[in-house]
Structure 1
Amino acid sequence: MSGSDFTMDELCELLSSSSGVRIDPAELGAATTFDDLGLDSLALLGVITAIERNRGVALPAEAQEIRSVQEFLSTLNDTLGKAA
């Protein structure tokens, strides 16, 4: 992991602040989906926009279709790693 990697804690904080739904990283499993957390595609789009703006990197279009929180985090960190 590099210093630019997003942690699950950071992602949960961003999801919580963007959606108004409190998300505890300790309660997430490998298969937890955004639907499980009560987050719809519009909430995810807002998070993607915030990440792109704050990190100065464009996430792939398919990031909007990812349903698993862990898979989204992996895609995010892969994208950040390639941009570094």
Structure 2
Amino acid sequence: MSNTLSYPELADLIQARAGVSITPADLEQPGAHFDDFGVDSLGLLGVVGELENRHGLKVTTGAESAKTPAEFLQLVNSSLSAKAGA
């Protein structure tokens, strides 16, 4: 299992947990915000919960409040890196 979350994986998780279809390319667009795609904090909370279950870790507090996909990935990947280094 990878120690980082990618845009394609994030797109799949958003589809599965928030019910919103987004392409990875859309998520990668500079300036993209979750609001642009109709993904709210509850949708992101579902994604965070899935990641915590998969990886057995507490994702950094605030990931569910991230405004952009880039910010979300940075927060999640920091948590995953910290776990890998522990």
Amino acid across the alignment from 1:73: L
Bigger RCO (CA 8 Å, 6+ sep): 1
For the 8 Å contact 1:18–1:43, the answer to whether it is kept is yes
Unaligned runs of 5+ in 1: none
For residues 7 and 34 of structure 2, what CA distance do their matches in structure 1 show? 13
For residues 35 and 18 of structure 1, what CA distance do their matches in structure 2 show? 16
TM-score when scaled to structure 1? 0.88
1:18 aligns with: 17
Amino acid across the alignment from 1:30: P
Report how many residues are paired. 82
State the identity %: 35
CA RMSD of aligned residues (A): 1.1
| 1:38-53 mapped onto 2 (5 Å cutoff) | 38-53=38-53
Unaligned runs of 5+ in 2: none
Q: Flag as ranges the 4+ runs of structure 1 deviating above 3 A.
A: none
